[in-house]
Structure 1
């Protein structure tokens, strides 16, 4: 797949243009978006991603088109799980709802910049060393196992303020003076002639730091589905562009997706195995099979990967909603549970 420089430039300009439009049309004036606004713009960004994928398939072939859609669905699903972490960070720093859009948009920009760097680095490494796929694959299998062991507690959000600050936030607070109260959506404020940073800047640093960790998972995952840097970049970009709207659209649903991390864990492990098999097929390491390609190693086709990803996400979502519905039914039918949920009132004598 050969992509001319002008195509890269036009794509980058279009993405920057969409981010600027998002800022001036929705984020510049602080407000909490309604469900209708969030749903409308989420749908628009999803439709744009689908239209782009269809166009890509028509121009460069449907093998690459399938790779794009597999990458887009994977990155979108990983982003949904990341939203729960963003929700915890927002809760910890008590970000007013009308300012959360600005924090999220800055987080999207930071994530896009970081992932672009990782995409270019990954492409250079893959072009030079085919054995990098072994590392990517082993890392994704490890990440999948680790993610499968994690679980979102039902009361995790209520204890968000008890969590310790991350390294980036601690270093920031040591380097510059901070204030605890918000001053509108300003990043800094001046008090008695001295400049302070506000919690708005602190929470942006916190989300930016988590974006680095997210990129470490997502970039190897999508390189397991395609080795085309242009597809990797555009799939990531379109998955991130609708992230702000998706946060407000499914914010209340995030706590109910209790099995989402299990589904994502399986997807990451599956792609990790796919990468290892690909590395074996292209093997050049002298201590493995004498440096020869391992011909019996099967190559998992992208269309099968897409079916596995979609099927896993469907099962995880349905199972999550069924479990939370069942748990709520048990609470309402259990008198002891209902009594425990009710606040205690004291009568005056």
Structure 2
């Protein structure tokens, strides 16, 4: 189904309007979002995406509606995985929590621009060369295998762009609010705020290489690909603050994403065989293979994600990580000088409760790892020392 230019125009205006609204009313003034604020706005953005999907279903038919929701759920799951890396990058650059919103919004805008470029490039390739499906399928299967083999390493290395920036430009070691440039000893210098944005932007380019083939495996409708991708990124900033601390509990997310990407990769290969025009394969004629419907894809994607989340939240490893993450968060905020005295006192009280939960963890591998975590112990001891001095 061809989408009229007017619909395209209105959609783009609506998405840009949402981004501008987010910046003007939430990001321009640096602050730490409350849990309630993050939850409300996360729900609003998910609601907007669902209402839009219902509209697509109503005006475009069941096929377009199913393709949109399958694409949206897949891209949303991949965007949650992106949050892990954003969290690690911001931790490695020690971004002040009040300024993390600006970094996240930049990441979302850059991600949307990068993905839009890849979407139109991918659509042009698909329209001209059917064999591109083989390449997309192979990319997703390789990505799935790499996710399964990937070690859980939380040390974020500076990427090439950051290393080049530090080598060829004057860079400051200190933040100056949310400014990207500052002056030290009369010299204009880049701040870590600009460097972290460069790191996020460079990482987004890599994510787009996996993300776009995944959604093209579910639909070749450029409008659906674009809107599902855009709405999956909307609200990502709020989601970060809502599930910060819960992210570590999703210990099986990488396995779930690997299954989903592998499944879509196989779907793409089957579709490529069904549309085959490579002269060295079956004489350039299509092969009689079974194709996976979008409806079945949607069921598989939602099912795998549901099993992944439930298994993570109720596993011994997930529960131990939950206690550890909560204690780490409350210990940091109990000594954070940017917070007021009452907030630090509340976090200290929560930390004391976390310590009891750590003691109550089973004497298995996961409980022992939390109790023997030297960095966590140091954070807790620092919180006790600073509380005693107040």
Matches within 5 A, 1:93-112: 93-112=93-112
Aligned to 1:220: 213
Matches within 5 A, 1:110-121: 110-121=110-121
What's the offset of the Cα at 1:276? 0.3
Distance 1:252 1:307 in 2: 28
Quick one: which of 330, 334, 339 aligns to 2:363?
334
Does the CA-based 8 Å contact 1:104-1:244 persist in structure 2?
yes
Moved more, 77-86 or 5-14: 5-14
Aligned to 1:299: 291
Q: Kindly indicate whether residue 20 of structure 2 is the aligned counterpart of residue 27 of structure 1.
A: no
Aligned to 1:81: 81
Distance 1:100 1:121 in 2: 31
Q: Give the 3 Å change call, closer, same or farther, for CA 290–14 of structure 1 in structure 2.
A: same
Distance 1:325 1:141 in 2: 27
Q: Kindly indicate whether residue 300 of structure 2 is the aligned counterpart of residue 308 of structure 1.
A: yes
* SS class of match (2:104): helix
Distance 1:339 1:139 in 2: 40
Does the CA-based 8 Å contact 2:159-2:199 persist in structure 1?
yes
RMSD of aligned residue pairs (Cα, Å): 1.9
Aligned to 2:53: 53
Does the CA-based 8 Å contact 2:54-2:65 persist in structure 1?
yes
Q: Give the 3 Å change call, closer, same or farther, for CA 58–7 of structure 1 in structure 2.
A: same
Aligned to 1:123: 123
Does the CA-based 8 Å contact 2:275-2:287 persist in structure 1?
yes
Distance 2:150 2:116 in 1: 28
Q: Give the 3 Å change call, closer, same or farther, for CA 339–288 of structure 1 in structure 2.
A: closer
Does the CA-based 8 Å contact 1:182-1:200 persist in structure 2?
yes
- Runs (5+) with no aligned partner, structure 2: 324-357, 382-390
Aligned to 1:142: 142
* Count of aligned pairs between the two proteins: 337
Q: Deviations over 1:148-169 (max 9, x none)?
A: 112435xx3xxx4xx4311010
* SS class of match (2:361): helix
Q: Deviations over 1:2-59 (max 9, x none)?
A: 1111211111111111000000000000001000000000000000000000001111
Distance 2:227 2:260 in 1: 20
Distance 1:288 1:341 in 2: 56
Does the CA-based 8 Å contact 2:253-2:308 persist in structure 1?
yes
Q: Kindly indicate whether residue 239 of structure 2 is the aligned counterpart of residue 210 of structure 1.
A: no
- Runs (5+) with no aligned partner, structure 1: none
Matches within 5 A, 1:250-261: 250-261=243-254
Aligned to 1:169: 162
TM-score (norm 2): 0.83
